[in-house]
A and B are shown apart, each in its own frame.
With several copies, the nearest count.
Chain A
């Protein structure tokens, strides 16, 4: 029998190398044409504990993780204890024979006979590949590209461990026990997670400066930028704290470098004064907040969608902003580009809200058409329309001609106090009104550029599921499952949650028989925001706040409760 869809989980302690083999397996699968959804679960520690690397593989277009496990690759006994109950009907366990797992679903592999302890993870990889009936040569190739540069001796041992495992699997009737159905001829694709896509998107848009203070799950965005910094001509600086990070980025942006900062909720809390400064000085800045469960330190390595309202209102005083909430890896790329463009266009703070689940979720993605995706247009050298130059000249759309300091004889003055058109501090209260109005006029431009929420399904459905950001995938899959069941279901997915333009979606809410919101938080933040902006009360909500991503199973269970 061949399987179109297999959900495999590699489990063990931090430090056992499970992410490495997970990545190799993921890449090998994508090279053969499969689609994947990776979810990573790890603890706030470096060694020990219980971590998993979960790959859902399919010949079809999948969008979300799955709960039931078809293949459990257990690097320790705890993994079996924790996940045994999740096994599907065809579910199977791969474990070291010496762990003595009393389960007839377990393929007991004599790890010690097949390789040195250091290479147990590769053995597990090999057995898994074999069980899936997967061509071992592809794994070998991927393994090479992973370890190639390093020690050739290690490379050789890796290869040996792999072929030994395949041999053992074949001899012991494990090969092909969960054979994957073949794929159509594969297009070349990338294996990319949300944070990698953000980094690529930022570079394609011409980001030139980035300052950061490390914080999970945002750090990998920065590490990806740093890795490319020399080649792409970026400066990425680790700041002394998040306050420094946001102010440095503002300084760099003021001086003409498209800039971004990336952090998580707690670090963003320290940037809030800087957000307000970006608005007042009208300095472009992209702020990426990778959410994790709070309050305070919370669950630092888990996922949540708990900071929407916080980000929407962060900063003292009043000013416009925009918030993008990508739902897919591709959208991480495109919305980061859009955020950088929009920041330069409206000259102020623009947000991208992601979360740990999406940050770490690798997918198969078609390469982006980088040749045809232009970076943001550089500013700052055109002649000023009025002399002497007025940095904050009053304009119809609220956006003033922007010059850069030092590029011409025109002087650029920016001020955090209320200021006159030339940027100097003022106590003239009539000017105050003009400047407040000017800044608010940008909201119109932001509204005109809003990405409408995506509606899928017939008009007037029995059930409309409303969601945002990374919960999009699970919601779409839940809807598909319900439709298969004969139900009349539609979905409305927001990849921009601010500004909200009611004409883009209110009719859908009104026409559905029942509306249910689905969010990865405890208080239903999008639902509340929708009511504030449209008056429409979403009467029923599905919420998750245990630190794990939503799944279609979770949603379906909640709907039938």
Chain B
């Protein structure tokens, strides 16, 4: 039986008090709850403070480029559909630099879990606005306030009928662990946008700010109701819903590729007889 200890304990490069610590905790809990052994899981991350998280887990990891974790994860998942593939990175990474891949992943509905540490700021580069920074927020790079509207990943994911769309909060560890667990279990693309206080650079959306606003979706909330979900996705400001906002039992991307039913690509022999036939079509 796998235990929390199997995922190790590491020294981190995070600031004391950062929301990332709780997310790391929740991730471990979810992995253990899903009885996943470290070697069965592949984490893929980008660059940023959040993207360091998988370095603090005893598991497989591809820590690639800023913004590019989804494509790497997609390739890995198609090459080996036996792997549980989890993307873990920041709001800047996934919704800024990587925005186009986010749209494509939603369209594909590939069986990947996407954990976004959403601190509404670029942490590692020292506090510029991120796509999710609230309009008007003042930073060193936006001294007159952020001039763009904040990106609402939940609304876009629901509008695009994504597989599973959820929001968690780093201040609610068990609830978050449960969401992550559901996301891993979900057959298809699952987004968990995680509100994460950054104590160093985001002095607006603090622990207290989120705590005051976050509320769990009521038990009679039906995430398969798209109309309810798209409305719920608009809620932000005084009240912020956390939980599974939308669920859509679409077929997985993988199911379109019969070859993937035979396991990982690299393990399948090259059919030379068939290739000879293909070649002779050119004769």
Contact = CB atoms under 8 A, between A and B. Distances in A.
Interface of A: 15, 43-49, 188-192, 196, 200, 203-204, 206, 208-209, 211, 213-216, 219, 222-223, 226-235, 237-241, 243-259, 266, 273-274, 277, 281, 296-297, 300, 367-368, 370-371, 375, 378, 380, 404-406, 408-417, 423-425
B132 to A, nearest CB: 13
Given A250-B75, A257-B75, 15 more contacts: A192-B282, A203-B270, A204-B272, A216-B125, A232-B271, A233-B270, A247-B71, A258-B266, A259-B79, A274-B65, A296-B64, A296-B65, A405-B62, A406-B40, A409-B38
27 contacts: A45-B49, A208-B265, A226-B140, A230-B144, A230-B259, A231-B278, A233-B259, A233-B270, A240-B103, A241-B96, A243-B100, A244-B70, A247-B64, A247-B72, A250-B64, A255-B75, A255-B77, A258-B266, A266-B65, A266-B66, A296-B65, A404-B266, A405-B80, A411-B61, A414-B62, A416-B64, A425-B63
B65 A241 contact: no
Nearest to A203: B275
Contacts of B104: 239-240, 244
Contact of A232 (B75, B122, B274): B274
Nearest to B49: A46
B124 A46 contact: yes
Contacts of A49: 13
Interface in B56-111: 58-68, 70-80, 82-83, 96-97, 99-101, 103-104
Contacts of B55: 413, 415, 424-425
B241 interface: no
A208 B267 CA distance: 10
B200 A46 contact: yes
A524 B217 CA distance: 61
B265 A252 contact: yes
Which of B39, B70, B75, B270 gathers most chain A CB within 10 Å?
Answer: B75
Interface in B267-283: 267-268, 270-272, 274-276, 278-280, 282-283
B162 to A, nearest CB: 15
Contacts of A240: 96-97, 99-101, 103-104, 131
Interface string B178-201: 000000000000000000000011
Contact of B275 (A44, A230, A239, A370): A370
Contacts of B259: 229-230, 233-235
A188 B201 CA distance: 35
B129 interface: yes
B14 interface: yes
B282 A191 contact: yes
B279 A200 contact: yes
A251 B79 contact: yes
B27 interface: no
A230 B62 contact: no
B153 to A, nearest CB: 14
A229 B72 CA distance: 21
Contact of B75 (A188, A251, A404): A251
A241 B72 CA distance: 13
B214 interface: no
Contacts of B125: 214-216, 219
Given A46-B49, A251-B76, A370-B279, A241 B97 contact: yes
Given A243-B68, A416-B64, A249 B283 contact: no
Interface string B14-54: 11100000000000000000000111101010010100100
Contacts of B44: 251
Contacts, number: 279
Contacts of A191: 282-283
Interface residues of B, number: 81
B258 A406 contact: no
Contacts of B278: 200, 203, 228, 231-232
A316 B183 CA distance: 36
Given A223-B140, A367-B280, A375 B40 contact: no
Contacts of B100: 240-241, 243-244
A239 to B, nearest CB: 7
Contacts of B52: 425
Contact of B73 (A189, A215, A251, A406): A251
Contact of B65 (A44, A245, A247): A247
Contacts of A188: 283
B131 to A, nearest CB: 7
Interface in B237-283: 257-260, 262, 264-268, 270-272, 274-276, 278-280, 282-283
B76 A277 contact: no
B123 interface: yes
B143 interface: yes
Nearest to B260: A235
A255 B97 CA distance: 24
B126 interface: yes
A200 B129 CA distance: 24
A196 B282 contact: yes
Nearest to A14: B15
B75 A259 contact: yes
B128 interface: yes
A203 B275 CA distance: 8
Contact of B266 (A203, A248, A378): A378
B72 to A, nearest CB: 4
Contacts of A248: 71-72, 74-75, 78
Contacts of A48: 13, 15
A191 B104 CA distance: 38
A406 B41 CA distance: 7
Contact of A238 (B66, B78, B129, B257): B129
Given A370-B279, A380-B266, A414-B63, A247 B75 contact: yes
B124 to A, nearest CB: 7
A418 B70 CA distance: 21
Given A196-B282, A252-B78, A411 B58 contact: yes
B83 A255 contact: yes
B63 A238 contact: no
Nearest to A388: B58
B234 interface: no
A425 B51 CA distance: 11
